[in-house]
Each structure stands twice: as structure tokens, then as C-alpha cells.
Amino acid sequence: MKVAILGAGAIGAYVGAALHQGGADVHLVARGPHLAAMRRHGVQVLSSRGDFTAHVHATDDPAEIGAVDYVFLGLKANSYAACGPLIEPLLHDSTAVIAAQNGIPWWYFHRHDGPYDGHRIESVDPGGAVSAVLAPSRAIGCVVYAATELEAPGVVRHLEGTRFSVGEPDRSLSPRCLAFGEAMRAGGLKAPVEANLRDDIWLKLLGNISFNPISALARATMRQMCLHGGTRKVIETMMAETLAVAEALGCTVGVSIERRLAGAERVGDHRTSTLQDLERGKPLELDVLLTAVIELAEITGVDVPTLRTVHALSDLLALRAAA
């Protein structure tokens, strides 16, 4: 199995190192000091599960790699529309694209087999720009439950979790999906193949849609947000509104809001990816989290006043941060 990791940051490099350990032919696409470090020393993974180093081929030129069986996208979702020149050299007719993104994916209604089958979500696929680069037919969904961070160039700190749920948009247990799940498991990761991956998307989104923007607005960690009575109440309300949208689309999350909050509190003083992006001067990945759910609320007729309020505030924050 030949796999390219396009955007081999903390999550991408961690997955690439694990797949390499499991015997896959892995190639990392990165840039800058991180790329230079991985070329010199390999990917160094620091984890309570055991430290290891994977000496994986790394490059900034996908043409060096050529066509692969799977592309694992470690890019932020707001980079997808512009990644055409990077991904095109990696594709053959049957190459699958595994998008390890937070939030609502561009392929969400592809082969949905419901009243919105084929509907394009403008906030995540504006004008079809993402679908033009990443054909929905290539997509395998992936919901990431692992937490990692780059401790230094070429050094990935694994914080918690090893689960990467994968699934087909059409809910089939396809050979390509099963094979990728097996390769992930061979590398020591949990990779259940889920027929109803959209349920997992909403479960993960329940936290991302609330904790991520609030953390950026308040400059707060997970624990701080959970322990502050005011922000906890706002987060509970945001979660309830999000659950209502999910249910209107036929999805079942299966976890109570209180249990979701308790799990987040146990994470401790972790900074969300959105807060980290703000601190590093990077664009905030809000469209696939908040904007998309508000768009889905509009088409399903669900009232989401708190989501709209937090969206307005965080959108202004994103605009000011980008100025």
C-alpha cells in the first residue's frame, strides 16, 4: 500500500509514522524547518505509549512521490480548494482521499440517500471549488479522536487517543476502506470502519463547534471553559442546538451533553487547535465548524440563536486576526 500524507503536521506526521511502522510505503509532504528535521532525523514520536522514530521519505514536491493508493489529508479544511497543484501528482484513477478534518466535510451529502442527497454546502465548498479539486467520489471520511502537537520541528508529541474512525459516504464497508483501516491498525492505531460515520462527525463536532471558538474568544483551555459557570452554560446551549441540527438530518450522537462536558474537563489545560492557530497567527478554521452548521440549520429549519451569536463574535475575531 502506497500512502502520501499531504500536510504532514502533527496529526499527519503521527499517522504517517504509524503507517510506516505497520509496513506501508509512506511519503510525507511538508515544508520548512519541520521538513528539514524529518529528512535529517525522521519523525520522532513522543508518547506515553512508547517513544519511537520513523525514518519516512519526506519531500516538499509531490511529483517526487507520484501516484499513490491513498492520500491522507492533514491540511486545514480552508486549504483544500487551493491544494490542486499539490494533490494532482499523487492521483491515479482509483486513488482514495482520506480527509482528517474537523467539522462538516465537503462530501457530506455525497451519496447521502436522503432528501438533501447531492446538496452542496456553500460554506465548506464555495462555488464547488473544493469538489473541483477533491472529487467527492474519492473521499473516505475520517474522524480524528487523537490529540497531538508539534513539540519541535520533526518532533510529534502524542497527547491522547489513537482512534481514527473511517467510513464511506455511501455507508458501504468498501474494500478500499477496510484495507486502509487494517493498515492503520497494523501501525498500532484504532481505525474502526463505521457504516454511519456521519454520527461520529456530529459527536466530534459537538465539542469542536463550542470549545474551539469559545477558547479563541476567551483565550482559555478546555478545563478553564468547563469550570467557569458562564462559559459552561454557553457551551451547553451550543451543544443542544447542534444536536437539534444533527437530529433533523437523521443522525444520532448517542452521548449526553453532560458526558461530553465531563470528557472535555478530563482533558485538562489543553489549548484547542483554534486557539493555537490564533496564537500562531494562522487562519481560524471556523467555516467547517460554525458556519456550516448554521447553514444546515437554515435548510432544516432549526433555530440556533446561540450558534449565530458566537459565530458573529468569532468571525469578527478571525477577520481582525487576519488583518
Just list the catalytic residues. Answer: 204
DSSP codes, 220-254:
--HHHHHHSHHHHHHHHHHHHHHHHHHHHTT----
Q: Which residue reads 510525507 in cell numbers?
A: 28
Give CA–CA dist 46/148, Å, rounded: 10
**Residue type at 123?**
S
Q: In the numeric block, which cell numbers belong to residue 213?
A: 471558538
Give CA–CA dist 98/200, Å, rounded: 15
User: Is the Cα torsion angle 105, 90, 19, 266 positive or negative in sign?
Assistant: negative
Give CA–CA dist 43/37, Å, rounded: 8
Give CA–CA dist 187/184, Å, rounded: 5
CB 53 within 8 A of CB 41: yes
**Residue type at 271?**
R
Is 201 in a helix, a strand, or coil?
helix
Own/partner contacts of 36-41, CB < 8 Å, gap of 24 or more, are 36/153, 36/154, 37/152, 37/153, 37/154, 37/155, 38/8, 38/13, 38/153, 38/154, 40/154, 41/154
Give CA–CA dist 250/255, Å, rounded: 15
Among 146, 154, 197, 179, CA closest to 22? 179
